[in-house]
Amino acid sequence: MASKKGKILIVDDNAGIRQALKILLPLHFAEVETLPSPVTLVSTLERFRPDVVLLDMNFNTSINTGNEGLYWAGEIKKMMPEVEVVLFTAYADIALAVEGMKRGAFDFIVKPWDNEKLLATLTAARDKARKAMGRDVRKEEDKAATMYWGSSRAMAVIQKTVDKIAPTDATVLITGENGTGKDVLAREIHARSLRSEKPMVAVDAGAITETLFESELFGHVKGAFTDAHTDHVGKFEQADGGTLFLDEIGNIPLHLQAKLLRVIQSRSVVRVGGSQAIPVNIRLICATNMDLEQLVREGRFREDLYYRINTVHIALPALRERREDIAPLAQLFLERFAEKYHRPLTGLDESAKAVLENGRWSGNIRELQNCIEKAVILSEGTTLTAKDIQLEQAKAGAPAAGTLKEVSDAEEERLVREAVLRSNGNISAAAKMLGVSRPTLYAKMKKYGL
């Protein structure tokens, strides 16, 4: 028998389940505690200091959305990042359990459980937690933003362009569909520039409200408005000496474009409520999924701003235009997520490659990454197969989602969840994907507890 070590906390409202685990787990853990609900979870965590929390996803009998489990998993990881959370879920909640893993949960166990698999999962979580105690937990971004050039002709041309411009201070405009990797390319350019030792500050321009636009980008002084209790350094100043990446620049309203243009031209900012011009030394990279030339023709984007940000234009191809790169990219994601989620996966079989290469991938690389991540989490073998992929659009060669106006009520929640996941939480991008306004999408997200 394995030696007993570590502490586990079980949070489940089913007394029978708590009793069964109280009998089983002391054979493998030095200390076991149970709670019938999360009401005293915070105080128990502080007192008991577990290595692992086995967390039910539903506690209110009238609510079975799993959102309680997602919420408390997030709270545990915020409070004690080194503690590993294993989600306890019914079969119908597997999609939510997958979402929980993306938010930091170690793994999930489906009820009714297999004792052998339950013990293997919980002891692996315990060993990882004990190994991490006393050390900083590695952050997710360490491997995420790695540029993969692939073997397509279009990407080879872009790579040569980047080779030439990266060491310069040339302003760059990156265009391409959602999910093509515009932010990753921006980071690649910064990493290969002479400014690489200085910060790269990324701003989702489409997500900043109009009332906060100047404050966020240019900063404000204490007392400039009601809630301005201290001076605030804006994104331009934060990027001084480095690179400022303005994503979704096509979403900036016309009247605010003039203010942005003045700062770009003068390379100096005046904080809201201030009078002093503060010089900023930045390299500017912008990105958008919109056709800025068309917006200029329609009078929705300033022509002078367009030419100011368009010294070098790089258009990233859609994934369906570089199909030879789909399988290699999928393999990279598989290796990354197999390590993250402790899965013994080594590769994709030919059936999986065929499914992936025949897909339309309207969400491009981001959608492929999400697809592989889900497949890795749900996999049980050592090789991903077509059965593991579980992406209807990839199998059928049809778009993954229409707009909300085009679907039945029964499909609405699925499409909203998928759009938010595919856009990595970018509400503007998700709203465009669904064909609705941002306020409408916020209302839908609230409706489904997202």
Q: Are residues 124 and 204 in the same domain?
A: no
pLDDT at residue 397, rounded to an integer = 41
Query: Which distant-in-sequence residues (6+ apart) come within 8 Å of 187 by Cβ?
Result: 145, 147, 200, 245
- pTM beyond 0.85: the answer is no
What's 434's domain CATH number? 1.10.10
Mean pLDDT of 65-75: 80
pLDDT at residue 141, rounded to an integer = 42
Of 315, 331, 348, the residue at which a domain comes to its end is 315
Amino acid found at 57: M
* Beta-carbon-side half-sphere exposure of residue 292 (alpha carbons within 13 Å): 28
Query: How many domains in the chain?
Result: 4
The neighbouring-strand residues paired with 277 are: 270
pLDDT at residue 305, rounded to an integer = 97
**pLDDT band at residue 413 using 50, 70 and 90 as cut-offs:** confident
Q: Evaluate whether residue 145 is within a structural domain.
A: no
**pLDDT band at residue 135 using 50, 70 and 90 as cut-offs:** very low
Q: Are residues 245 and 283 in the same domain?
A: yes
Q: Are residues 50 and 101 in the same domain?
A: yes
267 is in which domain, residue-wise?
153-315
Q: How far is Cα 325 from Cα 322, in angstroms, rounded to an integer?
A: 6
pLDDT per position as a tens digit, 207-217: 788 888 888 89
Q: Evaluate whether residue 140 is within a structural domain.
A: no
pLDDT per position as a tens digit, 88-132: 987 666 777 888 888 889 988 988 888 888 998 999 899 888 887
Q: Evaluate whether residue 2 is within a structural domain.
A: no
pLDDT at residue 130, rounded to an integer = 85
What's 89's domain CATH number? 3.40.50.2300
Work out the percent of the chain whose per-residue pLDDT is above 90.
Answer: 48
Of 98, 132, 166, the residue at which a domain comes to its end is 132
Task: Tell me the three-class secondary structure of the chain, residue by residue.
Answer: CCCCCCEEEEECCCHHHHHHHHHHHHHCCCEEEEECCHHHHHHHHHHHCCCEEEEECCCCCCCCCCHHHHHHHHHHHHHCCCCEEEEEEEHHHHHHHHHHHHCCCCEEEEECCCHHHHHHHHHHHHHHHHHHCCCCCCCCHHHHCCCCCCCCHHHHHHHHHHHHHCCCCCCEEEECCCCCCHHHHHHHHHHCCCCCCCCEEEEEHHHCCHHHHHHHHHCECCCCCCCCCCCECCHHHHCCCCEEEEECHHHCCHHHHHHHHHHHHHCEEECECCCCEEECCCEEEEEECCCHHHHHHCCCCCHHHHHHHCCEEEECCCHHHCHHHHHHHHHHHHHHHHHHCCCCCCEECHHHHHHHHCCCCCCHHHHHHHHHHHHHHHCCCCEECHHHHCCHHHHHCCCCCCCHHHCCHHHHHHHHHHHHHHCCCCHHHHHHHHCCCHHHHHHHHHHCCC
Q: Evaluate whether residue 137 is within a structural domain.
A: no
pLDDT at residue 445, rounded to an integer = 75
Q: Are residues 168 and 235 in the same domain?
A: yes
Arithmetic mean of pLDDT over the chain? 85
Q: Which of 356, 378, 376, 377 is nearest to 367 (CA)?
A: 356
Q: Are residues 257 and 342 in the same domain?
A: no
Mean pLDDT of 363-379: 90
Q: What are phi and psi of 284, to 5 degrees?
A: -105, 130
Q: Are residues 164 and 303 in the same domain?
A: yes
Cα angle at 269 between 268 and 275, to 5 degrees? 115
pLDDT at residue 67, rounded to an integer = 73
- For residues 223 and 63, which has the higher predicted lDDT (pLDDT)? 223
Q: Evaluate whether residue 380 is within a structural domain.
A: yes
Q: Are residues 331 and 210 in the same domain?
A: no
Q: Evaluate whether residue 443 is within a structural domain.
A: yes
What's 163's domain CATH number? 3.40.50.300
Q: Are residues 183 and 120 in the same domain?
A: no
For strands 383-384 and 347-348, give the pairing: parallel
Q: How far is Cα 226 from Cα 126, in angstroms, rounded to an integer?
A: 48
Q: Are residues 237 and 308 in the same domain?
A: yes
pLDDT at residue 64, rounded to an integer = 53
pLDDT at residue 223, rounded to an integer = 86
What's 340's domain CATH number? 1.10.8.60
Task: Tell me the three-class secondary structure of 264-286, residue by residue.
Answer: HHHCEEECECCCCEEECCCEEEE
Of 279, 294, 315, the residue at which a domain comes to its end is 315
Q: Evaluate whether residue 147 is within a structural domain.
A: no
Q: Are residues 106 and 128 in the same domain?
A: yes
pLDDT at residue 149, rounded to an integer = 92
**pLDDT band at residue 71 using 50, 70 and 90 as cut-offs:** confident
Q: Are residues 15 and 127 in the same domain?
A: yes
Q: Evaluate whether residue 307 is within a structural domain.
A: yes
Q: Are residues 350 and 279 in the same domain?
A: no
pLDDT per position as a tens digit, 206-249: 778 888 888 889 998 888 887 777 888 899 999 999 999 999 99
